């Protein structure tokens, strides 16, 4: 089985770098357990394991900003996944397309992107 090839950390998780399937722009990094990897493959939607909440979650389940998986790649050590997705909406819960919206410039973190949605209107509690 394909998951037998993966080298999960002692925590049972493997990092997954999520990027745009066409441009390779890095959108986010998440962690997957074996079940999340299998579910991602089966459903075609990025599924992760939340280390803080200690539960599975599907990207976009509350925001609607899902990730349609186009391909999954494995690094040479078999301990990190690279997943190419079609991002619908923003990947970042703060409202940006990518979680990597800040760049170090002259010793200061500078926002280099525009928000693509208002998180306060999406994540109503």
Question: Do 47 and 39 form a contact (C-beta atoms < 8 A)?
Answer: yes
The 3-class SS string of 79-114 reads: CCEEEEEEECCCCCCCCECCCCCEEEECCEEEECCC
How far apart are the two ends of the chain, measured CA to CA in Å? 40
pLDDT tens, position by position, for the chain (125 residues)?
A: 799 999 999 999 999 999 999 999 999 999 999 999 999 999 999 999 999 999 999 999 989 999 999 999 999 999 999 999 999 999 999 999 999 999 999 999 999 999 999 999 988 76
Compute the distance between CA of residue 84 and CA of residue 20 in angstroms, rounded to an integer. 5
Taken in order of first residue, the domains within the chain and their CATH numbers are 2-92 (3.10.20.810)
């Amino acid at each position: 089985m394909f998951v037998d090839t993966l080298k999960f950390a002692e925590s049972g998780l493997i990092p997954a770098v999520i990027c745009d399937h066409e441009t390779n722009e890095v959108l986010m990094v998440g962690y997957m357990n074996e079940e999340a990897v299998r579910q991602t493959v089966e459903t075609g939607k990025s599924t992760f394991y939340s280390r803080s909440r200690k539960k599975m979650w599907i990207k976009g389940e509350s925001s609607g900003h899902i990730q349609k998986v186009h391909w999954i790649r494995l690094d040479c050590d078999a301990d990190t996944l690279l997943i190419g997705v079609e991002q619908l909406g923003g990947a970042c819960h703060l409202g940006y397309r990518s979680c990597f919206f800040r760049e170090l410039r002259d010793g200061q973190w500078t926002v280099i992107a525009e928000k693509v949605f208002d998180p306060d209107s999406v994540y109503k509690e």
